[in-house]
Structure 1
Amino acid sequence: MAVSLYNPSSEAGLKKLDEFLLTRSYITGYQASKDDLTVYAAISKTPSAEYVNVLRWYKHIDALLRISGVSGEGSGVTVEGSAPASEVATPPAADSKASAADDDDDLDLFGEETEEEKAAAEKLAAAKKKPSKKESGKSSVLLDVKPWDDETDMVKLEEAVRSVKMEGLLWGASKLAPVGYGIKKLQIMMTIVDDQVSVDNVIEDYLTAEPINEYVQSCDIVAFNKI
């Protein structure tokens, strides 16, 4: 149910708001919502201790904004301009069941923070500061592996290439493609975890180094695509 309030920065408005919050924890509903933010923003400064209920509600909303924010949608509240006390509309009284529930909320939410509440607030603040773990990306790489000559055993060449094993490296499909003069090259796919494997290192430290360079004359990257 939508609520209409006059300027809560005026004495008349604060008085009515104080009466309104006597049996309520929030402007509407049973959790902090956008309605509370609307009224909170309309109050120009921290209410005086004279308005006990408004002050306790104001400090609670202020604490929520500092710790975790307010996500409730609310039922809709309108804050109108200031008006004489005689013209300020009194919000509809809550039924006895709702009032009793809100009284319970007052005891829990507006009193001093318990040790459990403080611990929960600290845990939430720490979780927000902790950076989320970024998942490592993967890439698909197509290599051209060329033998020394037409007498190179291409079966053994491929076995030598696939013998290179390391964490984050997975060999895939392969085929032989003609180069010329009876020479064929090995085209082979590899999938790598970017943070764990460097393709340049695989080529320089393994595929073109001993003992695999007995079969491999050169190795080139044909295609490199992020997955």
Structure 2
Amino acid sequence: MAVTFSDLHTEAGLKSLESFLSGKTFISGDEITKDDVKVYAAVLEKPSADLYPTACQWYDTVASKLASSFPGKAAGVSISAQAPSAEAAPPKEAAKEFAADDDDDLDLFGDETEEEKKAAEERDQAKASTKKKESGKSSVLMDIKPWDDETDMKKLEEAVRSVELPGLLWGASKLVAVGYGIKKLTIMLTIIDDLVSVDDLIEERLTVEPINEYVQSCDIVAFNKI
């Protein structure tokens, strides 16, 4: 949807303006454009520097240049370096007077080039990556059983802990007698839910070669979200 002047009175409109200006070189040299003045006039007040840093900088730049000279009605409005006259209107009033002479809504995205679209997509992806919250974590208690009483439990535990995956952290462990001289390994592990599947860990790592030389089976005793 096209972004018009009326939209700039809302939070959504300011967000669109911030997104549009982000990454662009606005107000080049000593010139401002008709569209700069029109959008400036449509913004009710200076955007928050914390929420809309680029729009805030743009707003200050336009205000400063309008204060230097009242713009004419040309598409490209040249701002001279000379001091303003005593009769010059304040920046906001001057901008509103200028914008009132042109009733056309400004479509901020109407003439966006393919390069600008690509740059905007890259910025959005970067922001999404930065703002992405860490996935939830879970604490798992697992019983790992050997084949028989002759299985070297020290080597069994070493084999289990040799499994390394992003988001997997092995914790405390102990040997628990199950009868007939056989002991099982009870071990804690912490996982990041989006990175590690406990079922896959068992089926694809702990009960296949070479670890299945020591491990006969694995059982999940407890599974708790952290």
Report the TM range for the smaller structure's normalisation: 0.3 to 0.5
TM-score by length of 2: 0.47
Higher relative contact order, chain-length normalized (CA < 8 Å, sep 6+): 1
TM superposition score normalised by structure 1: 0.46
